């Protein structure tokens, strides 16, 4: 059944690829949130250069089948590097990245972290919502229900931006450890800190409520009575808001969002290709008048010149001080060579 579904989806994407003249990328995600079918397909997405389709799996065996079926037929594979699948009977952890690397011989492999895409998507959304606010997210009361991997990372990010963050988790012992750790990790000059409150009291007058549980409903209709007029609900864990709360929020015109990771995925793909190009250019060195010309990203010796693109120089970024920074004042004997490079 899995192979037939995958073949059908691939043929659909292949036709679209020829029509749009784009390369094909296959995204393999994994999660501990078990479902009956052991897998589900993600929506087909189009970026500037790629057509992306993918699956989320709960079983390594499906990953092996997918790799054998698609290797060489698609251009790129992005695989979730986070180890979230339950351990096998022998205690060995599930590892879909390893299975992909073992079974893909032709298509190019890249890795990503699914949870971090969600964290980034939440932060981008909130930043955009308050983009016209003079203080941005600073001073906003944000309640995160579900202080696991995703909720904790979102909490730290928002705290660093000056938000008043309240974390909730049923296991109070783990919650205290997480809150203490975040307050220890936050920048020294960040005045705000993470707070612990019980679920109902923390929600009162909140600007944003974020559901970060693993699909467990934690935001209900009763909670909406405690919200301010312009409050926002965010479902970051797929299924954290009850149906009654969704209906009530829409009736009362409370903004309610279901996190879409696609903007973050587009950014990840762009960054991946960019660093891949940079690494190739870092290996190159040009020598002019006895002075080394290096690509950005290379740690140079004293006097080396760093440029934006060693194959097509447009800008000189600086002259190395030999310690990872640039000289603040240009030595007089460098002016001619830099003028030559930037003509």
Domains of the chain are 2-112 (no CATH), 116-260 (3.40.50.720), 284-342 (no CATH)
Beta bridge partners of 52: 25, 45
Q: What is the pLDDT of residues 187-224, one digit of tens each?
A: 999 999 999 877 677 788 899 999 999 889 999 999 99
Q: What is the pLDDT of residue 88?
A: 64
Strand ordering across the sheet containing 316-319: 285-288, 291-295, 305-307, 316-319
Please say if the pLDDT value at position 10 is more than 70: yes
- pLDDT value at position 267? 94
Confidence class for position 91, pLDDT limits 50, 70, 90: low
Among candidate residues 315, 285, 320, the one with its CA nearest the CA of residue 302: 320
Q: Minimal CA–CA distance to 31: which of 78, 79, 84? A: 84
* 319 within 8 A of 330, measured Cβ to Cβ: yes
pLDDT of residue 92: 58
pLDDT digits (tens, 9 = 90+) for 252-293: 999 999 999 999 999 999 999 999 999 999 999 999 889 999
Specify the range with the lowest mean pLDDT, choosing from 43-47, 90-94, 201-205, 302-306. 90-94
- Looking at the predicted structure, is the pLDDT value of residue 93 above 90? no
Q: Which of 235, 267, 265 is nearest to 45 (CA)?
A: 265
Is 300:287 a contact under the CB 8 Å cutoff? no
What average pLDDT score do residues 327-337 get? 90
pLDDT band at 226 (very low <50, low <70, confident <90, very high): confident
Mean pLDDT within 25-43: 83
Closest to 224 measured CA to CA, from 203, 240, 239, 238: 203
Would you state the pLDDT for residue 278? 95
What pLDDT shows up at residue 197?
Answer: 74
Which is higher by pLDDT, 13 or 91?
A: 13
> Is the model's pLDDT at 31 over the cut of 70?
yes
- How much is the mean pLDDT over the chain? 92
pTM: 0.90
Question: Residue 90: which pLDDT band, with cuts at 50, 70 and 90?
Answer: low
DSSP 263-310: HHHHHHHHHHHHHHHHHHHHT-EEEETTEEEEETT--PPTT-EEES-T
108-156 residue pLDDT tens:
999 999 999 999 999 999 999 999 999 999 999 999 999 999 999 999 9
- Can you tell me which residue has the tokens 């991997």? 149
């Amino acid at each position: 059944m899995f192979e037939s579904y995958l073949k059908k989806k691939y043929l659909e994407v292949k036709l679209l690829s020829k029509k749009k003249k784009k390369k094909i990328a296959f995204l393999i995600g994994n999660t501990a949130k078990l479902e009956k079918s052991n897998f589900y397909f993600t929506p087909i997405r189009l970026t500037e250069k790629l057509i992306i389709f993918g699956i989320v799996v709960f079983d390594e065996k499906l990953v092996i089948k997918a790799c054998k079926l698609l290797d060489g037929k698609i251009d790129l594979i992005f695989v979730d590097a986070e180890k979230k699948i339950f351990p096998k009977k022998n205690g060995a952890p599930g590892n879909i990245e390893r299975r992909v690397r073992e079974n893909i011989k032709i298509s190019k492999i890249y890795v990503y972290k699914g949870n971090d895409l969600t964290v980034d998507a939440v932060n981008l959304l909130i930043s955009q919502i308050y983009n016209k606010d003079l203080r941005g997210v600073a001073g906003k009361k944000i309640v995160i229900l579900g202080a696991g991997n995703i909720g904790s990372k979102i909490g730290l990010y928002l705290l660093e931006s000056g938000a008043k963050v309240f974390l909730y988790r049923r296991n109070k012992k783990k919650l205290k450890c997480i809150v203490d750790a975040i307050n220890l990790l936050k920048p020294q000059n960040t005045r705000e800190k993470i707070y612990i409150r019980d679920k109902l009291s923390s929600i009162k007058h909140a600007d944003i409520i974020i559901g970060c549980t693993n699909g467990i409903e934690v935001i209900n209709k009763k909670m909406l009575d405690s919200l301010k007029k312009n409050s926002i609900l965010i479902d970051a864990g797929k299924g954290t808001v009850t149906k009654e709360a969704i209906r009530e929020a829409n009736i009362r015109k409370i903004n309610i969002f279901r996190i879409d990771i696609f903007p973050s995925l587009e950014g990840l793909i762009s960054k991946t290709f960019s660093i891949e190009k940079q690494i190739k250019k870092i290996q190159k060195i040009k020598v002019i008048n006895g002075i080394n010309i290096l690509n950005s990203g290379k740690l140079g010796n004293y006097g080396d010149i760093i440029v934006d693109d060693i194959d097509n120089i447009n800008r000189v970024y600086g002259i190395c001080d030999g310690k990872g920074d640039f000289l603040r004042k240009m030595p007089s004997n460098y002016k001619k060579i830099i003028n030559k490079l930037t003509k």
